[in-house]
Amino acid sequence: MKGEYTLEQPPETAPGVGKVGEDGSARYRAWSFAKLPEADFREEAANRGGTAFVHALCPNGTGGVFLSKQEGERSGVILVFLAAILYSLGGVCIKVIPWSGMSINSGRNLIALVVIGIYLWRTGHRPRFNPWIGLGAVAICGTNTLFTMANKMTTAANAIVLQFTAPIFVLLLTALVWRKLPQKGELVACGVVVLGVLCFFVDSLQGGGMAGNVVALLSGLSYAGVFLLQDMPDSDPISSVFWGNVCSALIGLPWLLGEESFAPVTLVSLVVLGVFQVGLAYILLTMGLARTSAVTASLVSGIEPILNPILVAILYHETIGPVSLLGAAVVIGGVVGYNVWKVKASAAQAAAGNS
């Protein structure tokens, strides 16, 4: 089954090639054959002003889907937003498990590996490995481990607000490593979101241990690496997630084997963490990162540090002060405003290109 097919006219009758859209601006499912390798597939999609995402969507990683730029951005934002909601379950579940951070991280990643393994099996995607995928795995493992440890070493609010320095690290890394200067709108949105998060936790940042705060800040750096998975050369984000979760599970295994408390609430919370907060959340995030930029994804994820303490407040009756409510409004307003600006900017660019 060999051949060379363009994204513009994928043959409907060719083996393994399905036409989804009507014209070049619509969606197409196309295979990446021997004469059309993945790099060319991505390049052609970029030249056509769209997004190509290849990994885990076609059997054995041999194919991909092309989305128009606007459609891809919109669906990517939704997927990242859903992932952020699932990530926000972490504070509640980690709070009720009477284990060390290393034990919790190992247990939840063992469960997450089952979820991700089923996903890879169903999609026919075999985990790959190369130095860049390994670097992404380090970012995944660091984020998993450091954030769980921080939640046990300092307050949950401190852990999440300091981890959400990630958008700043994303901007710095994209500028220093990939030489991509941020747009003014991205800088403004980043500043608004960070201001809102700091406002939300203005009181709680005064508490907690200094060591825990440092660990949480380091988790923000590693979290930035997670958002940059798609930008790494010869990347495969879902493979990085797989290997990163393997490392996370193995590192904490000695602590997990030493635990003695296995109450029902502990086990249920661990399953929720593994299935939803890690497994499904990472799957949604990797799919979203393939369709939107790292900066956009990190800003959309700004809903996570708001939902996390709100869920704790609802379930544990912790009060949320007026300054925190103001911070929530600022973050949500910043994320919504950024996406409105992004849509308008894309529409204006498309109009200018057609004129």
- Which whole number is the average pLDDT over 221-232? 87
Residues 279, 203 share a domain: yes
**Nearest-angstrom CA–CA distance, 317 and 308:** 13
Could you tell me which residues come within 8 angstroms of residue 316 by beta carbon, excluding any fewer than 6 positions away?
95
Residues 305, 224 share a domain: yes
pTM beyond cutoff 0.85: no
- Which whole number is the average pLDDT over 123-140? 92
Most trustworthy range by pLDDT among 181-185, 247-251, 321-325: 247-251
| Count of structural domains within the chain | 2
Confidence check: pLDDT of 181 > 90: no
Least confident window among 138-142, 207-211, 330-334: 207-211
pLDDT band of residue 132 (cuts 50, 70, 90) is: very high
Residues 89, 43 share a domain: no
Residues 303, 176 share a domain: yes
Say if residues 333 and 326 touch (Cβ distance below 8 Å).
no
- Which whole number is the average pLDDT over 80-85? 91
| Token pair in block for residue 108 | 């939840």
Q: Does any domain span residue 176?
A: yes
Q: Does any domain span residue 347?
A: no
**Nearest-angstrom CA–CA distance, 342 and 336:** 10
- Mean pLDDT (the chain) is 75
Residues 110, 2 share a domain: no
Residues 301, 206 share a domain: yes
Q: Does any domain span residue 72?
A: no
Residues 105, 45 share a domain: no
Of residues 48 and 285, more confidence is placed in 285
Q: In what order do the strands lie in the sheet with 50-53?
A: 28-31, 63-68, 50-53
pLDDT at 22: 33
Residues 4, 143 share a domain: no
pLDDT at 327: 73
SS (H, E, C) the chain: CCCCCCCCCCCCCCCCCCCCCCCCCCCEEEECCCCCCHHHHHHHHHHCCEEEECCCCCHHHCEEEEEEHHHHHHHHHHHHHHHHHHHCCHHHHHHHCCCCHHHHHHHHHHHHHHHHHHHHHHHCCCCCCCHHHHHHHHHHHHHHHHHHHHHHHCCHHHHHHHHCCHHHHHHHHHHHCCCCCCCHHHHHHHHHHHHHHHHHCCCHHHCCCHHHHHHHHHHHHHHHHHHCHHHCCCCCHHHHHHHHHHHHHHHCHHHHHCCCCCCHHHHHHHHHHHHHHHHHHHHHHHHHHCCCCHHHHHHHHHHHHHHHHHHHHHHHCCCCCHHHHHHHHHHHHHHHHHHHHHHHHHHHHHHHHHC
Q: Look at residues 41, 67, 93 and tell me which one is the last residue of a structural domain.
A: 67
State the residue range of the domain holding 257. 77-342
pLDDT at 257: 95
Residues 166, 29 share a domain: no
Of residues 133 and 153, more confidence is placed in 133
- Which whole number is the average pLDDT over 7-34? 37
Q: What percent of the chain has pLDDT over 70?
A: 70
- Which whole number is the average pLDDT over 337-347? 72
Residues 214, 156 share a domain: yes
Residues 181, 50 share a domain: no
